[in-house]
Amino acid sequence: MAQKQKRTKIVIILFIFVIYFFVAARPVPKEAVLTLNWINSVSGAEVLQKTDDEPALSSFDNLLPFTLGDRFGYVDPSGQFVLNKIKRNDIYLSHNMWTEYSAEPSSIVLGNIADNSQITIENTRGYPILLDNRIFIFGSEQNSISEIDVFQNTLWTYEFGAPLTAFDAAAGLVLTGSLDGVMEVFNSAGERIFYFEPSGSRYSVILGCALSRNGSRIAVVCGIDRQRFLIFERLPGSVGEYKIIYHEFLETGFRRPVRVLFVDNDQRIVFEYEGGLGVYNIKSRRVVHIPLEGSITAIDQSGERGFLFLITSHSESQKKLTGIRFPPDNLLGISSSPECMIFMKAPFSSDNIFLGRSGGENISSQLVIGGGTALISFNLEEK
C-alpha cells in the first residue's frame, strides 16, 4: 500500500510539473544590442561629390538630416556626408529640403538635397517650416500661415485669432493649435475642415499636436491646470470629421511646447508629461507611463522595430541616452510594466547633442548619436 501511494505521489508531481511546463513556460526574449558602425567628425569632413553624369538622388528615405554645434547637413547610412555646412543663421531641415534664415527674415535660402540646388525666396516676412514635402511660412507675429511653392507663388494664406503654438502636416492636411486653445485642420487648398476647442482647463492652450501619416488620427496635449492628452480619430467615410477616442488628465503639466509624436509606423503615440514619457498603444487603446529623470532634450522620431531612444539632460553637460523597448500586449491587451520597457541607460558628457534614426527595408536600423563634433552610428540588432 505504501509503495502504491508513493508511486501515486510521483505521478501527481510529474503531472503538475508537465502542466506547469506548458502553461508557465515563456520563450527567452532576445536582447537589443548596439554595435558600433562608424564614427565621423562633422568638422572638415568631406562631402560626397556627385559627378555630372550621375542621376540626382531619387530617394531620401535613407538620408539623415542632422544639426550638431555649428554644423548641419545630411549623412547617408555609410557615414558619408551628402551635405555638411556651417550654420550661420537659423535653419530648418526636412528629409529632402533645408532652409537658412535670419532672426527677422525678409528672405530665406531654400536648398534641395536631391540636386544640391539653392534658391533665395524674397519677401517672406516670416519663418519657414518644411513638412510633408511642402513649404510653409509662419507670419512674423505667429498668427498667420501661408503655403508657398518653389517658384515663390503663395498658394494660400490663413490668419488666426491668436498666436500659433503647435503645428503639424501630413497626408496633405495641416494641423494647427493656438494660444487660445483652438485646434484646426486644413486641407491641401487651405480650407478649414475641422475646428475644436478642448475645454476643462483653467488656461486653454494647445501645447503639442501631431497627425498620423495617413491623417486619420490626431494627438494633442492641451491646457494648463489641468493639462490633458487627447486622441481624435476620423469618422469612417468622412473627410474632416473627427471624434475623441481617448482622454486623460495629466497630474502636472508643462508651460512650454510639448513633444507629441506618432511612432512605430503609427502604431503608437509618445508624448511628454511632467516627470516622464507616455506611450499610447493604438491597438489596445491604453497608455503606459514611463518615469524619467531629467528633461528630454532629444527623442527618436521613428520608434521603428519596436524601439525608441531619447536623450535626457541632467545639467549643462551631463546627458543620458535611454533605450525603450515597446512591450508586447498580453492576452488582455494590457502592456507590460514600465520597468520592462527601459532596456538601457548610458550617461555621457557633451554640450552639443544630436539623436536620429536611419534605415530602410534593405538597410539595418541605425541609431546615430552626436556629441561635440562627432557623429557615431550604431547598428540596432536583437540577439
pLDDT of 52? 47
pLDDT of 201? 84
CB 341 within 8 A of CB 39: no
Query: Would the pLDDT of 75 be above 70?
Result: yes
Containing 20, the helix (H) or strand (E) segment is helix 2-24
End-to-end CA distance of the chain: 53
Confidence of residue 336 (pLDDT cuts 50, 70, 90): low
Query: Would the pLDDT of 11 be above 50?
Result: no
Q: Hey, how many other C-beta atoms are within 10 angstroms of the C-beta on 330?
A: 10
Q: Which amino acid is at 69?
A: G
Cell of 214: 495617413
To the nearest whole number, what is the mean pLDDT of the chain?
85
Query: Would the pLDDT of 89 be above 80?
Result: yes
Dist. CA 175–CA 187, nearest whole Å: 9
Dist. CA 160–CA 367, nearest whole Å: 39
Q: Which of 226, 154, 217 is nearest to 185 (CA)?
A: 217
Apex 191 CA angle, 185 and 197, nearest 5: 35
Q: Which amino acid is at 124?
A: T
Query: Would the pLDDT of 13 be above 80?
Result: no
Q: Which amino acid is at 331?
A: L
Is the peptide bond between 305 and the residue preceding it cis, with omega within 30 degrees of 0? no
Question: Residue 296: beta bridge partners?
Answer: 312
Cell of 350: 557633451
pLDDT tens-digit map of 193-220: 999 999 888 888 999 999 999 999 999 9
Is the model more confident about 61 or about 146?
Answer: 146
CB 227 within 8 A of CB 247: no
Beta 90-93 vs 97-101: how paired, if at all? antiparallel
pLDDT of 292? 93
For residue 6, which phi and psi values (nearest 5 degrees)?
-65, -45
Is the model more confident about 252 or about 36?
Answer: 36
For residue 12, which phi and psi values (nearest 5 degrees)?
-65, -45
Q: Which of 378, 374, 321, 376 is nearest to 69 (CA)?
A: 374
Is the model more confident about 201 or about 54?
Answer: 201
> Residue holding cell 536648398?
111
pLDDT of 55? 43
Q: What mean pLDDT is predicted for residues 279-294? A: 92
Query: Would the pLDDT of 58 be above 70?
Result: no
- Secondary structure E strands in 123-256: 126-131, 134-139, 144-148, 154-159, 164-170, 173-178, 183-186, 192-196, 203-211, 217-224, 227-234, 242-250
Confidence of residue 48 (pLDDT cuts 50, 70, 90): low
Cell of 339: 520597468
What are the sequence ranges of the domains in the chain?
88-159, 163-258
Query: Would the pLDDT of 306 be above 80?
Result: yes
DSSP collapsed to 3 states, 87-148:
CCCEEEECCCEEEEECCCCCEEEEEECCCCEEEEEECCCEEEEEECCEEEEEECCCCEEEEE
Q: What mean pLDDT is predicted for residues 259-269? A: 95
Q: What mean pLDDT is predicted for residues 63-87? A: 93
Dist. CA 291–CA 269, nearest whole Å: 16
Dist. CA 348–CA 196, nearest whole Å: 43
pLDDT of 84? 93
Containing 16, the helix (H) or strand (E) segment is helix 2-24
Confidence of residue 378 (pLDDT cuts 50, 70, 90): very high
Confidence of residue 363 (pLDDT cuts 50, 70, 90): low
What CATH number matches the domain at 88-159, 2.40.10.480, 3.40.1160.10, 3.20.20.70, 3.40.50.880? 2.40.10.480
Q: What mean pLDDT is predicted for residues 252-257? A: 86
pLDDT tens-digit map of 105-153: 888 999 998 888 888 988 778 899 999 999 999 998 899 999 999 888 9
Q: Which of 106, 152, 103, 149 is nearest to 130 (CA)?
A: 149
Question: Residue 64: beta bridge partners?
Answer: 75
pLDDT of 374? 94
Query: Would the pLDDT of 290 be above 50?
Result: yes
Please report, rounded to a whole number, the percentage of residues in the chain having pLDDT higher than 90.
59
For residue 116, give Cα distances in angstroms to 80, 94, 134. 15, 14, 18
